[in-house]
Structure formats: structure tokens, C-alpha cells
């Protein structure tokens, strides 16, 4: 039962200006033992916090294939000197770092055993042809249709021989067939070593 405690009501001699503010305090009974008992319903206990699964860190970014700031003309000039000194040919790869087919092609090209054979035949030149980069003119000069996809490949035998250039997405079709098809295509352009004369 609630009990009200406060001052007495104003008497008959008190005027309206002499009345004091009456304050009432509600007294609520408190049970003697307020600790939760084992018989309390399950919904009365506080919910347990859910265990958070650990978040894995994001994978590190893949290293770039092409240098977006390098001038392709200077790279080609340096490759021509290397080819002249080593009797090899220039193997130009044109693409962008956000191109998934370019990464597949690059991974196959740099396989240890395959690259050892490749480097004996060619001097590789990787040129970034991003739309806002400094090498966009390579696409126009080589007649490459960028809408057909990258990478595009240009193989230069010599200044007197017409280069082999994949202008219309031919290399993209090869890449979709898998790594073996990429190796086969590149090896098909290897030059056979000259047979050594028989010793008498």
C-alpha cells in the first residue's frame, strides 16, 4: 500500500498568500531480497553478447604488370639495342593493369621454365596503354582495336619484315582457352636453332 507523507493541510487562519507549497513523497515498498533467483524466468536475465568472428585482413594488392608512367618509345628503343646485340626479336605486350586477361598472360609468360626458353628468343617490352597514359598512340600506330580487349602482342622480326600484331582481340581468344594454349601460341613463333655442322 502506498503511503503519502507531507505537511498538514492549511488551517482556517492561513490566507492564500501564506500557503506553502506542499510536497508529497511516494514511498514504494522494496522487497527485502531483490537479487535474481534461480527460479526467475529466462527472459529476465540480460542477453549474452554474441561472439564476433574475427575479420580477415584484405588481401594485399597485386603488383602492377605495366609501368603507367614509362614511355613506350624509350622502352622500344632500348629493346632494339638489346636485340641487335643478342640476335633476338622484340616481343611487345600492350595492356593495362586492370586487365584480367593481361595478368593471366603475364603469369604464364613468367613461369620459370617457360620464361627461360622465351628469353632466349625475344626481348620483352611491356607497355601500358591506359586511356590517360602517355602511350595511347601505340594503339593507333599499330592499328589495334582497344574495344576487342587486351593484351595485344606485336612481334618485330626486323625493320625489313612486317611485324606480327594481334589487332582484333586474337590474343584474348587464345587466353580464354587456358595456359597451355598461351604457351603453344608463343612457342609457335620460336625460331628453330640452326643445326650445328657435323664434326669430321
Please, which residues have CB within 8 angstroms of residue 172's CB and are 6 or more apart in sequence?
101, 148, 149, 150, 151
Please give the pLDDT value at position 40. Answer: 56
User: Distance between CA 169 and CA 150 in Å, rounded?
Assistant: 7
Question: For residue 135, which phi and psi values (nearest 5 degrees)?
Answer: -115, 20
The total number of residues shown for the chain amounts to 200
User: Distance between CA 86 and CA 80 in Å, rounded?
Assistant: 10
Please give the pLDDT value at position 14. Answer: 52
Please give the pLDDT value at position 196. Answer: 42
Please give the pLDDT value at position 60. Answer: 83
Please give the pLDDT value at position 7. Answer: 52
CATH architecture of 72-187: 3-Layer(aba) Sandwich (3.40)
Which residues of the chain register pLDDT less than 70? 1-47, 51, 158-160, 193-200
Please, which residues have CB within 8 angstroms of residue 166's CB and are 6 or more apart in sequence?
144, 152, 153, 154
Give pLDDT tens digits for 156-184.
986 657 889 999 999 999 999 999 999 99
User: Distance between CA 82 and CA 198 in Å, rounded?
Assistant: 31
CB neighbourhood size of 129 (10 A): 24
Amino acid at each position: 500500500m502506498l503511503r503519502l507523507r507531507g505537511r498538514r493541510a492549511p488551517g482556517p487562519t492561513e490566507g492564500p498568500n501564506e500557503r506553502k507549497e506542499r510536497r508529497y513523497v511516494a514511498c514504494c515498498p522494496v522487497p527485502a531480497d531483490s537479487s535474481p533467483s534461480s527460479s526467475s524466468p529466462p527472459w529476465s536475465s540480460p542477453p549474452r553478447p554474441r561472439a564476433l568472428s574475427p575479420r580477415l585482413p584484405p588481401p594485399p594488392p597485386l603488383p602492377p604488370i605495366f609501368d603507367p608512367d614509362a614511355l613506350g618509345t624509350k622502352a622500344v628503343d632500348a629493346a632494339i639495342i638489346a636485340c641487335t646485340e643478342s640476335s633476338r626479336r622484340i616481343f611487345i605486350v600492350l595492356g593495362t593493369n586492370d586487365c584480367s586477361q593481361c595478368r593471366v598472360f603475364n603469369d604464364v609468360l613468367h613461369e620459370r621454365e617457360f620464361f627461360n626458353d622465351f628469353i632466349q628468343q625475344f626481348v620483352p617490352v611491356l607497355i601500358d596503354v591506359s586511356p590517360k597514359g602517355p602511350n595511347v598512340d601505340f594503339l593507333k600506330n599499330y592499328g589495334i582495336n582497344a574495344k576487342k580487349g587486351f593484351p595485344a602482342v606485336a612481334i618485330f622480326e626486323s625493320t625489313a619484315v612486317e611485324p606480327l600484331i594481334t589487332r582484333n582481340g586474337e590474343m584474348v581468344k587464345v587466353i580464354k582457352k587456358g595456359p597451355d594454349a598461351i604457351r603453344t601460341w608463343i612457342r609457335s613463333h620460336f625460331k628453330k636453332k640452326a643445326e650445328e655442322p657435323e664434326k669430321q
